[in-house]
Structure 1
Amino acid sequence: MPPPPIAAAPAAPRPADGSLARTGSEASRRLLGPGPQARPLTLWGSSSMSSEGGDQSTPLAVRIHEHLALAAGPAVVHAFGVGATRSAHTLLMRGLDTPRLRPTGEGAAGGVPVALDSGLAPAGPIRVPGAVDGIPGLLDGSSGTWHFVPEDPAAAVGDGVFRSALAAVAADSRQVLWIGKNNILDVSGVLEDTQRMWEAAADPARDNLVLGQWPTSSDPVGSATAAAVAEVNREQQRRYGAHFLDLGALLTSEEGLCCPPLAPLRLLEQSATHGALERRIVPEELCAPDGIHLNGWGNLAVSWAIVRRMQELRWL
């Protein structure tokens, strides 16, 4: 199942005598005691959003959702990034796609094997809480095939429509969207799926932040994937303006590589960095050993950039 929501708010201190006496001025209480109406933040995406590789190269692992939880506190952060998924899987998790499930075998301890009428195959460790025609349970694709595991083992699961429970979790939250890298060659599909996620927010024009894709060593200038990344980023910049954050530009430009979190690395003094910039890819000093995920330093730069943009948008 997705990880539990992360709440960054510390417990409120109480007077030593245990009384409920209020101290300080009204203004100071408003400043130091944020109200209960802090908007939740929901993160959607694949392995980059789940910070895979974030435990590499830095003394401590750098997880994007943990940094955002600290910055957004006391707001709750829901981290729903799942590695290896494509944008269509995010629509399923968000409850925007409600496929009909058809049992394909007998139920067992691992649940009832099912197929989705959408034809969507599982990817990565995806597990989605939800219900089939009112029967609550878990749609589990982590084994490579879909199974529906009802909360009540005695429940009879037949053909029915699956609706994700995560839709209710995210209903009133702001969204950070980093979806589509695993199916980036389907440019129109990625753009359409991102737009559907955008429109699902309570106030789309204010409640979304779309993160741009970044080019790995497998996406050098001249490659099909580099062209697709550039096209998606360019169109999303046009559509979403200040609500689009170009992380590719952050991680492949001299200005971006000198941002405060990366300044200690002195990247521009290294010849390998200039070679990467010529190929318009992210320098290997910011990538995990597998070459397709950011390491702790890369995640630190991304976290810094997201927090700064959220401040500009007055989310923080």
Structure 2
Amino acid sequence: MRLIFMGTPDFAVPVLQALIDAGHEIGFAVTQPDRRRNRGRVTFSPVKELAVSRGIPVLQPERLSKDEAAKQSLRDYAPDAVIVVAYGQILKQDVLDIPKLGCFNVHGSILPKLRGASPIQHAILEGFSTTGVTIMKMGPGLDDGDMIATAETEIGGMDCEQLSEKLSHMGAELLVRTLPSIAEGTAVYTKQNEAEATTCGKITKKDGFVDFTDCARDIGCRIRAFDPWPGCWLEHDGKRIKIWKAECMPGTEVSVKQAPGTVMDASVSGIDVACGEGILRITELQAPGKKRMAAADYLRGHRVPAGTMLRPEPPEEMPEDRKKQNE
């Protein structure tokens, strides 16, 4: 098939690679513009890196909906289909109408659950036992197009990075298996049940704050959902400490007598913190300017005696907010 691929992050890379390996012709890879990161160094998106390495032409419109030259390039190529995987921009109807067969999305949930920008994180946040991927034909609404195929998997104790990697490969395999039926006109399109639909928005850095008034089990889910980005964090002695690994202590599902945020014990096993419901044991964390380390290693250089109160409320202003104000 003659395809155009639209995607940006690591999650999209296995899908593009699978399409190349399957022998499909990729006329263009459309991805987000290059960004300045790491002290001003310009970085390519993961999709662009793969496309360039395979000699695939790359388009990087700031806003595809307003870039007539880019849209004309897509029309001139006359694709059979457009494949979209975490591109990061909404496609308007004039773009949806370009391919002969339509635009098709690999979405990181079993639709209609978790439509939107962060389905993988929210599957963990909301404590789902399973999740999966959906191949759907795109329409003008938010992830509400007709479904063609799904694949499901257990979440278990995976964090977001692990689950994303698994789902991206599942999506790649499912798409390659599904494309022939789309090309032949034999694919079955199933409308989504709007009564079961849920949505999820974008994740921000502020979402990573750990509020110990929450249930310990929910905090554990939050920590896994936000690994590796934006990471979960707490404020202690004016410093932001990131929490990378933690577990809800068994048998502590009920409320504890200590105020949320109170350190109940600190040992080689971890740092036990009272929550609104239950006790959370922090087992891996990261101090400012340091690498991730086991809680036991952290405690060798920092005193965290029982009774220490970890900040229960986020600061009114985040450091990135102050930075924006000064720019």
The answer to which structure, 1 or 2, has the higher relative contact order (CA under 8 A, 6+ apart) is 1
TM-score using structure 2 length? 0.29
Structure label with greater radius of gyration = 2
The structure with more strand, counted as a fraction of residues: 2
